[in-house]
Amino acid sequence: MAELQEVQITEEKPLLPGQMPEAAKIHCVETPYGSVTFTVYGTPKPKRPAILTYHDVGLNYKSCFQPLFQFGDMQEIIQNFVRVHVDAPGMEEGAPVFPLGYQYPSLDQLADMIPCVLQYLNFSTVIGVGVGAGAYILSRYALNHPDTVEGLVLINIDPNAKGWMDWAAHKLTGLTSSIPEMILGHLFSQEELSGNSELIQKYRNIITHAPNLDNIELYWNSYNNRRDLNFERGGDITLKCPVMLVVGDQAPHEDAVMADSGGQPQLTQPGKLTEAFKYFLQGMGYMASSCMTRLSRSRTASLTSAASIDGNRSRSRTLSQSSESGTLSSGPPGHTMEVSC
């Protein structure tokens, strides 16, 4: 019998006519580590957290999250939440290049800027959605301020500092590759890069010609100098909130649980991610089950795969949502949901 082949397709389902994107309000606040810009969509909803996003290196909130948040099926979810999209300093559109010698904040300091954003907006709790470096920053924020984080969606997080081997490999790559190529290698798998799809061409173009490339390099350096998040199984350092852990199937280090690079499912698989997010919010009591379409209900069970944050990743395509969530959250009411897409 012929074997079924998995084909990589970028999902597209733009807003329907009449579905106008909401107006954005751009704000900037001063923090002890410099100013930070963030963009707010929608209005605060009573008794609901804000959705707060943090983007990966080489991107800003728009290039990282627009395809997901403007995906057609996502609208029924996000209309129930105000959204706050943080741009790392110097990554916002039109950002001036920092002067030579500027001390860019560490990832821990970037996390420490978030309370200023929430204070300014007078928001008390959030559901964080972060990719790569952004996922690390939101995890650090959640460890420091557990009472303000109701849930976390972590896409391609690497919670560990670079080891000696990683540093050696990084230095070697740096001898022959430009900063844009290194960042593209962090965002996408080699397979994706050599496939050179329209998406890759688009992001290669964005990063290579970024007028703030020097700022991007500073964020990249902070990412590479991150320290361990030190999650401990059964220990004190755990995320207390429900976590949806997403690993791109294109991640080159698929066996390492957290992908250090590769695959941007929020760009290539917004439909799958939307379904999983809906399911995650439903688990938190924020989506009525009637909002789950029959298709959604049956497909959700097939799009998740079991994983754990400390390395025992199973490739079995089963739904994984548990309240016994190992190192990510320690007991009730936390739960983790692991998604591979």
Which residues bind to ligand BEZ, rule: CB under 6 A? 21-22, 41, 62, 65-66, 69-70, 78, 83, 85
* Residue type at position 272: K
* Residue type at position 223: Y
- Of the candidates 55, 67, 226, the one whose C-alpha atom is nearest the C-alpha of residue 156 is 55
Shortest CB 51 distance to ligand BEZ, Å: 7
Shortest CB 163 distance to ligand BEZ, Å: 35
Considering beta carbons, is residue 65 or 280 the nearer one to ligand BEZ? 65
Round to whole Å and give the CA distance between 221 and 157: 17
- Backbone φ and ψ for 195, nearest 5 degrees, come out as -65, -25
Considering beta carbons, is residue 65 or 279 the nearer one to ligand BEZ? 65
- Residue owning tokens 């050179």: 196
Considering beta carbons, is residue 86 or 258 the nearer one to ligand BEZ? 86
Shortest CB 261 distance to ligand BEZ, Å: 23
Considering beta carbons, is residue 22 or 73 the nearer one to ligand BEZ? 22
Residues 6+ apart with CB under 8 A from 99: none
Element (H, E) at 149: strand 149-155
Considering beta carbons, is residue 127 or 307 the nearer one to ligand BEZ? 127
Residue nearest to ligand BEZ (CB): 69
* CB atoms near residue 171 (< 10 Å): 9
Shortest CB 69 distance to ligand BEZ, Å: 3
* DSSP-assigned states of every residue in 231-250: --TTSS----S-EEEEE-TT
Round to whole Å and give the CA distance between 126 and 278: 16
Shortest CB 272 distance to ligand BEZ, Å: 18
Shortest CB 78 distance to ligand BEZ, Å: 6
Strand partners, 53: 85, 129
Considering beta carbons, is residue 66 or 80 the nearer one to ligand BEZ? 66
Is the separation of the CB atoms in 302 and 339 below 8 Å? no
Is the separation of the CB atoms in 63 and 206 below 8 Å? yes
- Backbone φ and ψ for 190, nearest 5 degrees, come out as -60, -35
Structure tokens at 253: 């280090």
Considering beta carbons, is residue 28 or 237 the nearer one to ligand BEZ? 28
Shortest CB 22 distance to ligand BEZ, Å: 6
